[in-house]
Structure 1
Amino acid sequence: MMKRRFLDVVYEDKDLIVINKPRGVIVAHEKGSEWSGKKQLALVDHVRAYIVRKFPGAKASFARPLHRLDKETTGLVLFAKSNGALKLANDIKEHKVERVYAAIVEGPVNREDGTIDTELSKGDFGHGKKVGVVKNGEGKRTVTRYHVVERYDNATLLDARLETGFTHQIRVHLASIGHPLVGDKVYNPHPKIKFPRQALHARRVKFYHPVSKKKMILEAKLPPDMEGLVDNLRGN
Structure 2
Amino acid sequence: MDAEYRAGGLTDPEDEAGELSPAEAAERRSADVDAAGHGERLDRWLTGLAPEFSRNHLQSLIERGCVLLDGRALLKPAHKLRAGQHVEIELQPTDESRAFRAEAMPLDIVFEDEHLAVINKPVGLVVHPAPGNWSGTLMNGLLAHHAAAATLPRAGIVHRLDKDTSGLMLVGKTLEAVTSLSRQIAAREVHREYLALVWGRVEEEMVIERAMRRDPVSRVKMAIAPANLGKPARTDVFPLGVGDVQGRPVSAVHCVLHTGRTHQIRVHLTHMGHPLVADALYGGVPALGLARQALHAARLSFTHPATGEAVVLEAELPADLAAAWAEIGASGLPA
Interval containing the TM-score (normalised by the shorter chain): 0.7 to 0.9
Q: Which has the higher contact order (CA 8 A, sep 6+)?
A: 1
Contact 2:210 2:233 in 1 (8 A): yes
Structure-to-structure mapping, 1:1-236, within 5 angstroms: 4-29=104-129, 33-35=130-132, 38-51=133-146, 63-86=155-178, 87-111=180-204, 113-126=205-218, 130-153=221-244, 154-188=249-283, 191=285, 193=287, 195-234=290-329
Contact 1:117 1:141 in 2 (8 A): yes
TM-superposed deviation, 1:150:
2.1
Question: What TM-score comes out, normalization by structure 2 length?
Answer: 0.61
Contact 2:104 2:145 in 1 (8 A): no
1:139-197 deviation line (CA, Å, top 9, x unaligned): 111100011122212211111011111111000000000011111010125x1636210
In 2: Cα distance, 1:60 partner to 1:168 partner? 28
1:9-67 deviation line (CA, Å, top 9, x unaligned): 000000001100001111112xxx434xx443111211221225xxxxx8967541010
1:69 alignment partner, SS class: coil
In 2: Cα distance, 1:136 partner to 1:47 partner? 37
Percent same amino acid among aligned pairs? 35
Aligned length: 220
In structure 1, give the amino acid aligned to 2:232: R
Cα pair distance change 1:183/1:148, threshold 3 Å = same
Contact 1:120 1:131 in 2 (8 A): yes
In structure 2, give the amino acid aligned to 1:88: L
Contact 2:235 2:259 in 1 (8 A): yes
**Range 148-157 or range 211-220, more displaced:** 148-157
Indicate the structure (1 or 2) with the bigger Cα radius of gyration. Answer: 2
Match of 1:55 in 2: none
Contact 2:196 2:276 in 1 (8 A): yes
Cα pair distance change 1:233/1:49, threshold 3 Å = same
In 1: Cα distance, 2:117 partner to 2:149 partner? 19
In 2: Cα distance, 1:60 partner to 1:42 partner? 14
Question: What TM-score comes out, normalization by structure 1 length?
Answer: 0.86
In structure 2, give the amino acid aligned to 1:169: Q
Contact 1:125 1:132 in 2 (8 A): no
Greater share of residues in strand: 1
| 5+ residue gaps, structure 2 | 1-102, 331-335
TM-superposed deviation, 1:90:
1.4
| 5+ residue gaps, structure 1 | 53-57
Greater share of residues in helix: 2
In structure 2, give the amino acid aligned to 1:14: E
In 1: Cα distance, 2:150 partner to 2:213 partner? 38
Contact 2:301 2:310 in 1 (8 A): yes
2:185 alignment partner, SS class: helix
